Chain A
Amino acid sequence: MKKRIIVEGVSKKFKIGFKKRESALSRIIHLFSGREPKKTLEALKDVSFKVDSGEIVGIIGKNGSGKSTLLRTIAGIYKQDKGNIKAKGKIISLINLNIGMHHRLTMENNIFLCCSLFGLSHREIREKFDSIIEFSELRDFVSTKLYQFSNGMLQRLAFSIAIHCTPDILLLDEIFEFGDEKFKEKSAEKIKEMVRKGACVVLVSHDLRMVEKYCHRVILMTDGAIKKEGKAKEIVKGYKIEV
């Protein structure tokens, strides 16, 4: 099996602002300098795992357990403080459905902008344009501006764009929260098809049913570290009991 993603001992720290009881003097100083005291938060602690090609890996865990940070680090958006990340192939990240869509532009304009963010050339986008619209089932709204779209429609569009940009590594962060059941099924089928062709998928979701149904392996994270890793059914079951 070809390894797509190798994450070795990755740690990431953030400096975050916090308030504690402070003296009048320091309060005045902070008022003038506009700076607040910072403390470091360890978002990722020594995380290691591998993803093979042809695999769908789910990441679950509570809010703030480092799931999104992990995805962003794999995507190269954050730079890790320690450790190594190797990713082979083209990475497409879909984090909170944010793929640079402008609400004041038409769907057509947005498709061109977003696809070029993912590295497609103008000609490639032209070729894939119909297929993107077909998959998102938004044929009637090509020249509608996005602010008039519903959340579900935006989600369909974003997902459709992402999968048409031929990812080898697809990073999905909470993207199924708005879609209806039918589209979820359809997306999942599409993902399976891509995975069969050799891609891999890392899926962060709170939708445990989806995770259980489609992921081959699941990683449970707590406080920035991997707590458990294994077969989807066992991990999800254990997590459900815990919650």
Chain B
Amino acid sequence: MKIRHFLNLSFEIAKSSFKLRNEGSYLGIFWYLLNPLLLFVLLLLVFSDRLGNNIPSYPLYLLLGIIIFNFFQQSTLESTRVIVRDYGELIKSINFPREALVLGITLRSVFSHFFEFILFLFFMLIFKNSMTGLIFYPIILVFLFVFIFGFSLILSSLTVYFIDLDNIWNFFVRLVWLATPIFYSIGGQDRLFIANLFNPLYYFITLSREIIIYTRLPELWIIFGALFYALSALLIGMLVFNKLKVKFAEML
């Protein structure tokens, strides 16, 4: 019963945050598509002849990278604000499970991720890519979700103690964007490869590309890497959040 209440609350938070974002905007949901679409077109124009030269199905490679990164970026950026700025007053007034806020914003990012994924499917059709790999996407998404949720738990609870974290994270996300092979491929660059072993997104993006676009089984260490990062993020996230949440109301 309690877990149902928790999920129900998270879902309501996600829904209202989704509605709030579209509130009063003329294009509404289209913004969800427009943003990644424009970035995609821009990068495609700039890089398809150079960085994308040796990458098969470069447009799909690029777009899938963008939308997965977008999911991560949206959710984590939002998580640095949700407790301090958006729901600070509420935390001081009602004793509800605080984790629901973080789950709520992660769920909202999943909503918008779905829209972006439809865009991706559209391009899959245009480029006549094989669709068989898609059946595995839900599984990948579950682990990606777990990873992002765990990571957001850590970030959101730390921002209560370090208010500047949202600015720092803003910068850091851009750094990760450049370091992750989204619009390029690692190729034979050893240093970049080693750095990316510590980059969880590298695993998730590679995994999705191998399965969905190229319809082949990725190497095992990629699969285990993704699993490892998802579970450890969730574990650490829950530990940290649990430890810090007691003082939220006083710190805000």
What residues of chain A have their CB less than 8 Å away from a CB belonging to chain B?
14, 72, 75-79, 91, 93-96, 98-100, 102, 104-105, 109-110, 112-113, 116-119, 121-122
Given contacts A77-B92, A93-B94, whether A122 and B9 have CB atoms under 8 Å apart is no
List of B residues within 8 angstroms of A98 by Cβ = 89-90, 92-94
> Which single residue of chain B is at the shortest CB-CB distance from A93?
B94
In the assembled complex, which residues on chain A have CB atoms less than 8 Å from the CB atom of B15?
109, 112-113
Residues in A with CB closer than 8 Å to B87 are 100
Residue interface bits B3-14, CB-to-A below 8 A is 1, else 0: 011001100110
- B16 interface residue per 8 A CB criterion: yes
List 28 interface pairs A-B (beta carbons < 8 Å), by A numbering. A14-B250, A72-B92, A72-B249, A75-B95, A77-B94, A77-B95, A78-B249, A78-B250, A79-B246, A79-B247, A93-B93, A95-B92, A98-B89, A98-B92, A98-B93, A99-B93, A102-B20, A104-B24, A105-B16, A105-B20, A109-B16, A112-B16, A113-B12, A113-B16, A116-B5, A116-B9, A117-B96, A119-B96
A94–chain B nearest beta-carbon distance, Å: 8
User: Which residues of chain B are within 8 angstroms of A104 by Cβ–Cβ distance?
Assistant: 20, 23-24
A104-B23, A105-B23 known; 11 new pairs, CB 8 Å cut-off, are: A72-B249, A77-B94, A79-B246, A93-B94, A95-B92, A98-B94, A100-B93, A105-B19, A105-B20, A117-B12, A121-B8
Chain A residues lying within 8 Å of B96, measured Cβ to Cβ, are 117-119
In chain B, what residue has the closest Cβ to A68? B92
Task: State A218–B95 Cα separation when bound (angstroms).
Answer: 25
Measured in the bound complex, the distance between the Cα atoms of B5 and A113 in whole Å is 12
Residues of A within 8 A of B12 (CB): 112-113, 116-117
* Range, interface on chain B: 20 to 34
Residues of the A chain whose Cβ atoms lie less than 8 Å from the Cβ of B9: 116-117, 119
**Given A77, A112, A122, which contacts B93 in the complex, CB threshold below 8 Å?**
A77
- Enumerate the 6 nearest inter-chain pairs by beta-carbon distance, A residue then B residue, closest first: A98-B93, A116-B12, A76-B95, A95-B93, A100-B90, A116-B9
**At the interface, yes or no: B44 with Cβ under 8 Å from chain A?**
no
B43 CB–A CB distance under 8 Å: no
CA distance A100 to B96 in the complex (A): 11
Within B1-40, the residues touching A (CB, 8 Å) are: 4-5, 8-9, 12-13, 15-16, 19-20, 23-24
Q: What's the dominant secondary structure at chain B's contact region?
A: helix
Bound form: Cα–Cα A220–B90 in Å: 27
Chain A residues near B124 (CB-CB < 8 A) = none
Q: Which residue of B lies closest to A119 (CB)?
A: B5
Contacts of A113 in B (CB 8 A): 12-13, 15-16
Q: Is B91 an interface residue (CB 8 A)?
A: yes
Name, among A14, A94, A100, the residue most crowded by chain B CB atoms within 10 Å (CB to CB).
A100
Chain B residues near A112 (CB, 8 Å)? 12, 15-16
Please encode chain B, from 87 to 119, with 1 for each CB lying within 8 Å of some chain A CB and 0 for all others: 101111111100000000000000000000000
**A99-B94 contact given A104-B24, A105-B23, A122-B8, CB 8 Å threshold:** yes
Q: Within the complex, which residue of B4, B94, B247 is in contact with A121, where a contact is CB–CB below 8 Å?
A: B4
Q: Which residues of A contact B19 (CB under 8 A)?
A: 105, 109
B4 and A117 contact, CB distance less than 8 A: no
Knowing A102-B20, A117-B96, the reply to whether A77 touches B8 (Cβ < 8 A) is no
The digit string for B58-100, where 1 denotes a CB below 8 A from any CB of A, is: 0000000000000000000000000000010111111110000
CB distance from A71 to the nearest CB of B (A): 10
Shortest CB-to-CB span from A66 to chain B, Å, is: 14
Cβ A96 vs Cβ B93 within 8 A: yes
On chain B, the residues within 8 Å of A91 by CB distance are 95
Complexed CA–CA distance, A211 and B95 (Å): 25
CB neighbours (8 Å) of B249 from chain A are 72, 77-78
Q: Which residues of A contact B93 (CB under 8 A)?
A: 77, 93-96, 98-100
- Which B residues are CB-close (under 8 A) to A121? 4-5, 8
Indicate if the CB atoms of B94 and A75 lie closer than 8 Å.
yes
Closest to A97 in B: B93
